Structure 1
């Protein structure tokens, strides 16, 4: 592989497409496979300059680096498919999955690949000036290769060491607080609205430093992202259990988010509609 690797992204959702697009600055080309993907995925890929390829087999054959950024539940299936085609390059799994699942994926791919890198993205997609952080753990040389791939782009990288699982653990630790806090804010606002004191609740919260209750407009955004946040919280719950910590709060938050499953990526939803759906799914 030379200094301009061929990169593949599996599969380009809003985060994956934007992250992959950043690699174009240091890659020969960035591939993706439109087979079976939605028109929205195709539009995103075209917008970000990704190169369509007819099959996953061809993607794997042509790529030096494969980046997996998909819903958590699909992470193992994606890795298994890549392994089935004998991929021999560098595999970056940047999904929000438990460290134990990350290790399973590393073990699955290790016989054929040069290296598996554990990654996690924290922040919003790198568009419109947003600069998310990509945390990396794994073999030092492989981590350095990924850092070079994102050098001088809007994705800021940070190495966490050589152990597989560290990046995944950090992502889920942050998810445990950040996403559950959003769910609690939605429930509090829903309760207050039922009793006609929602404006007063927001006013109280506005006098607190960085309280999610002071950002009621974010409830609708939470509803639109619930389809992927819920599985992330389930992964975090599994990780808590593995550490001997109670997981019931996160599983309850995931169940709450499931009430918004039909609100997937609804960017036009109003706060009132989001709270209605929460109260009467």
Structure 2
């Protein structure tokens, strides 16, 4: 397979590092320097990316275009690309919802849109994230080949645009919310001088709850008492001057299972009740 020319929109910390990996199997990796910050210029230079002066030149020369930008900008960026009549492979790799990814695909009727989701840290310093892909088979195969033998592991989920974004956000919803919950828990404990004891208690268990989905059914059966407990915890956060809204939202979610008190549910039963309370 011929080596493609790749364009990256825009080289942030993740985008620049991913683009640098793509350079292993690409003829060239381009980025548009017009209007970008000094930090972007330095980052792109450090990763060996080739600057071009205009978006038009970037699009004209790119066989594969990778969009990795702040989520809020994803659709506007796609509109800009569509305005130039881009008709080759467009990898929508931003952390956006499956519905927004599908809207991006509709904005680019002439392009071959591949849904992408990066799970993991930027591929520097020994880190090796996975780029999940979904979309037309021939296009996802090209992206797999582009990242072959690099620090980015490409994994295809199927041909349906939206699958990769769904996996990315499903994982991010747990990982990132968990980090915020850590901040709230330690913040509450610190207010009462027991933060070191909390960390000691937590250190005895290192497994991720996300690896135990079967426990969801047990959670549903206990929701009738867990919900009020979280409301109490939310009150404690508020008293400590910390935001209580996340725990109140969790309590509200648990309330969907109030009629499952001490029942023997399957995981499927519990999730069905959550989706259709």
**Root mean square deviation of aligned Cα:** 1.9
Q: Tell me which residue corresponds to 2:56.
A: 57
The correspondence of residues 1-281 of structure 1 with structure 2, limited to 5 A, is 3-110=2-109, 112-113=110-111, 115-210=112-207, 249=246
- Measured after TM superposition, the shift of residue 210 of structure 1 is 3.9
Deviations 1:238-278 (A, max 9, x none): xxxxxxxxxx859979xxxxxxxxxxxxxxxxxxxxxxxxx
| Kept after mapping to 2: 8 A contact 1:205/1:211 | no
SS in 2 for 1:174: helix
* Inter-partner Cα distance in structure 1 for 2:249 and 2:95: 18
Deviations 1:79-111 (A, max 9, x none): 11111111121000101111111001111112x
| Kept after mapping to 2: 8 A contact 1:120/1:136 | yes
Structure 2, unmatched stretches of 5+, are 210-244, 251-277
Aligned length: 215
Kindly name which structure, 1 or 2, has the bigger radius of gyration based on alpha carbons. Answer: 2
- Measured after TM superposition, the shift of residue 147 of structure 1 is 0.4
Deviations 1:188-213 (A, max 9, x none): 1111111111111111111112469x
SS in 2 for 1:160: strand
SS in 1 for 2:158: coil
* Inter-partner Cα distance in structure 2 for 1:158 and 1:251: 37
List, as ranges, runs of 4+ consecutive aligned residues in structure 1 with deviation greater than 3 Å.
Answer: 248-253
Structure 1, unmatched stretches of 5+, are 213-247, 254-281
TM-score, normalisation: structure 2: 0.75
